[in-house]
Amino acid sequence: MIELTVDNFENEVINKDLVLVDWWGESCENCLAMMPAIENLANEYGEKIPFTKFNTSQKKVRRFCIQHKVLGLPVVSIYKNGEKVDEVAKDDVTRENVEAMIQKYI
Protein backbone atom coordinates (compact mmCIF):
# COMPACT_ATOMS: atom_id res chain seq x y z
CA MET A 1 0.00 0.00 0.00
CA ILE A 2 1.24 3.44 -0.90
CA GLU A 3 1.49 5.93 1.98
CA LEU A 4 -0.16 9.18 0.92
CA THR A 5 0.70 12.72 1.92
CA VAL A 6 -0.62 16.07 0.80
CA ASP A 7 2.45 16.31 -1.44
CA ASN A 8 1.99 13.01 -3.31
CA PHE A 9 -1.84 12.79 -3.28
CA GLU A 10 -2.29 14.36 -6.71
CA ASN A 11 0.28 12.10 -8.35
CA GLU A 12 -0.84 8.89 -6.61
CA VAL A 13 -4.62 9.45 -6.64
CA ILE A 14 -5.84 12.32 -8.80
CA ASN A 15 -3.63 11.45 -11.80
CA LYS A 16 -4.58 7.75 -11.78
CA ASP A 17 -7.42 5.89 -13.47
CA LEU A 18 -8.65 4.00 -10.40
CA VAL A 19 -7.42 4.07 -6.79
CA LEU A 20 -8.65 3.02 -3.35
CA VAL A 21 -7.83 5.40 -0.49
CA ASP A 22 -8.00 4.22 3.11
CA TRP A 23 -8.35 7.36 5.26
CA TRP A 24 -7.28 6.49 8.80
CA GLY A 25 -6.01 8.06 11.99
CA GLU A 26 -3.59 6.90 14.65
CA SER A 27 -6.15 7.37 17.43
CA CYS A 28 -9.05 5.78 15.52
CA GLU A 29 -9.63 2.35 17.04
CA ASN A 30 -11.96 1.26 14.23
CA CYS A 31 -9.33 2.32 11.66
CA LEU A 32 -6.67 0.25 13.38
CA ALA A 33 -9.03 -2.71 13.72
CA MET A 34 -9.82 -2.60 9.97
CA MET A 35 -6.20 -2.30 8.87
CA PRO A 36 -5.55 -6.09 8.59
CA ALA A 37 -8.73 -6.56 6.52
CA ILE A 38 -7.77 -3.70 4.19
CA GLU A 39 -4.29 -5.17 3.81
CA ASN A 40 -5.81 -8.58 2.98
CA LEU A 41 -8.00 -6.95 0.34
CA ALA A 42 -4.91 -5.19 -1.05
CA ASN A 43 -3.26 -8.60 -1.40
CA GLU A 44 -6.34 -9.96 -3.19
CA TYR A 45 -7.18 -7.01 -5.44
CA GLY A 46 -3.97 -4.99 -5.58
CA GLU A 47 -3.22 -6.02 -9.16
CA LYS A 48 -6.56 -4.63 -10.31
CA ILE A 49 -6.76 -1.48 -8.20
CA PRO A 50 -3.95 0.34 -6.39
CA PHE A 51 -4.41 0.56 -2.62
CA THR A 52 -3.27 3.68 -0.81
CA LYS A 53 -3.64 5.00 2.71
CA PHE A 54 -3.73 8.51 4.09
CA ASN A 55 -2.91 9.05 7.76
CA THR A 56 -5.17 11.91 8.84
CA SER A 57 -3.01 12.33 11.96
CA GLN A 58 -0.26 13.98 9.88
CA LYS A 59 0.39 17.61 10.74
CA LYS A 60 -1.52 20.30 8.88
CA VAL A 61 -3.89 18.03 6.92
CA ARG A 62 -7.23 18.98 8.46
CA ARG A 63 -8.18 21.43 5.70
CA PHE A 64 -7.04 18.92 3.05
CA CYS A 65 -9.26 16.21 4.56
CA ILE A 66 -12.23 18.57 4.67
CA GLN A 67 -11.68 19.42 0.99
CA HIS A 68 -11.98 15.69 0.26
CA LYS A 69 -15.10 15.45 2.45
CA VAL A 70 -13.43 13.22 5.02
CA LEU A 71 -15.22 14.43 8.13
CA GLY A 72 -15.08 11.31 10.30
CA LEU A 73 -13.19 8.04 10.39
CA PRO A 74 -12.79 5.41 9.15
CA VAL A 75 -13.42 6.19 5.47
CA VAL A 76 -12.49 4.10 2.45
CA SER A 77 -12.91 5.86 -0.90
CA ILE A 78 -12.65 4.92 -4.55
CA TYR A 79 -11.30 7.58 -6.90
CA LYS A 80 -11.76 7.18 -10.65
CA ASN A 81 -10.04 9.56 -13.06
CA GLY A 82 -9.33 11.98 -10.22
CA GLU A 83 -12.87 12.11 -8.81
CA LYS A 84 -14.22 10.39 -5.70
CA VAL A 85 -16.90 8.06 -7.05
CA ASP A 86 -17.73 5.91 -4.03
CA GLU A 87 -16.97 5.43 -0.36
CA VAL A 88 -17.92 3.62 2.80
CA ALA A 89 -17.63 5.44 6.09
CA LYS A 90 -17.76 5.00 9.85
CA ASP A 91 -19.78 1.93 10.95
CA ASP A 92 -20.28 0.84 7.33
CA VAL A 93 -16.53 0.18 6.91
CA THR A 94 -16.47 -3.61 7.02
CA ARG A 95 -14.43 -6.02 4.96
CA GLU A 96 -17.57 -7.11 3.15
CA ASN A 97 -18.69 -3.57 2.29
CA VAL A 98 -15.24 -2.50 1.12
CA GLU A 99 -14.92 -5.62 -1.02
CA ALA A 100 -18.37 -5.06 -2.54
CA MET A 101 -17.40 -1.48 -3.38
CA ILE A 102 -14.15 -2.64 -5.02
CA GLN A 103 -15.97 -5.23 -7.11
CA LYS A 104 -18.21 -2.53 -8.60
CA TYR A 105 -15.18 -0.85 -10.20
CA ILE A 106 -12.79 -3.59 -11.27
Q: Which H or E element spans position 62?
A: helix 62-67
Q: What is the DSSP string of 73-99?
A: S-EEEEEETTEEEEEEEGGG--HHHHH
Determine which one of 1, 2, 28, 35 is catalytic: 28
User: Which amino acid would we find at residue 9?
Assistant: F
Q: Cα–Cα–Cα angle for 56, 88, 55, nearest 5°?
A: 15
To the query of whether residue 65 is one of the catalytic residues in this protein, the response is no
Determine which one of 13, 31, 76, 101 is catalytic: 31
Q: Which residues are catalytic?
A: 28, 31
